[in-house]
Homo-oligomer: A and B are copies of this chain.
């Protein structure tokens, strides 16, 4: 299996290379692209990858289609939003398969896409693209030409809510409140004042308090799970850490149910999911428990005082929220077991 990686200078691109380096099927990375680093060796830009796998010979190339055709069987697109809009149609037309890590093909409804981004140039592909969350769509992913790899916050939130929504346990007319904190890799590798060390260190910040672009993606999948629209209040925060998302989700349940019963519903829903770990009752979850891994860990609480359910959901934003989930999708699309190369123990501490 030959792999092409478009946009190989961001954190998600490098994380992909980190994971693929240990993949037991030894897929060959044949082409990596970057406009800025064109002509430089991969390991000059990312020396941490030196001497690993077959990476020492990789040289960045321009992201031109003529550089890509025939070079790989499957392409990972880890480029900024907008790039995939242009590249995906010709790649598919050549019979190639694509896993897109951007938001360009995640939304099903072109109207919603236009509202949050711009008019979509290939709306027919929006309906064809499969939303790459293996716990929900494994069968469709297996046959997909184009997999839209979920966003980091949506992955964390949807896995946290799926069992409850499927069971129809969310009260009508009450909003679902999602309060989430992310590590700084979520903001990408570009040099920005807002993500410079001294701005972030020893501080906790609310950002994009209203209107974060992951909102419609979350709403779409909650609708699909629950069979009706849900009002979502989503607030992202920036925590002074490299990796990790912890979401605290507040839901008004249809009926009172014990924490124990609640946990059983989740255990049952995820009983064959290799990457979701439902923790014991009362477990105080933290993001380091999943650092560098593909796990999504969950801890569930019924709060008698307020009558609300509290769901704590934790992932590594860069792994499960992007690159290791992309490898899970690659596994499914390639007919391999979903877990191939992904049972990496978290790096803790």
Q: A residues touching B (Cβ–Cβ < 8 Å)?
A: 11, 14, 17-18, 21-22, 46-53, 174-175, 177, 179, 181, 183-185, 189-193, 195-211, 215, 231-233, 235, 237-244, 246, 248, 250, 252, 274, 277, 279, 282-292, 295, 297, 299, 301-308, 310, 312, 343-349
Contact = CB atoms under 8 A, between A and B. Distances in A.
15 contacts: A11-B349, A18-B347, A175-B307, A181-B237, A183-B202, A189-B198, A197-B201, A198-B349, A202-B242, A202-B244, A202-B288, A210-B310, A233-B303, A233-B310, A291-B347
Nearest to A312: B206
Contacts of A207: 284
Given A209-B248, A210-B305, 18 more contacts: A21-B343, A47-B283, A48-B346, A51-B277, A185-B198, A189-B196, A191-B191, A191-B192, A202-B202, A206-B248, A206-B299, A210-B310, A233-B250, A233-B305, A233-B308, A240-B240, A240-B241, A242-B349
Copies per complex?
A: 4
A288 B208 CA distance: 18
Given A189-B193, A193-B189, A235-B310, A242 B198 contact: yes
B210 A303 contact: yes
Nearest to A285: B206
B209 A184 contact: no
A22 B345 contact: yes
Contacts of A198: 11, 184-185, 189, 195, 242, 349
Nearest to A18: B345
Contacts of A199: 197, 288, 349
Contacts of A308: 175, 177, 233
Given A21-B345, A48-B289, A349-B11, A306 B232 contact: yes
A107 to B, nearest CB: 16
A244 B238 CA distance: 14
A312 B238 CA distance: 13
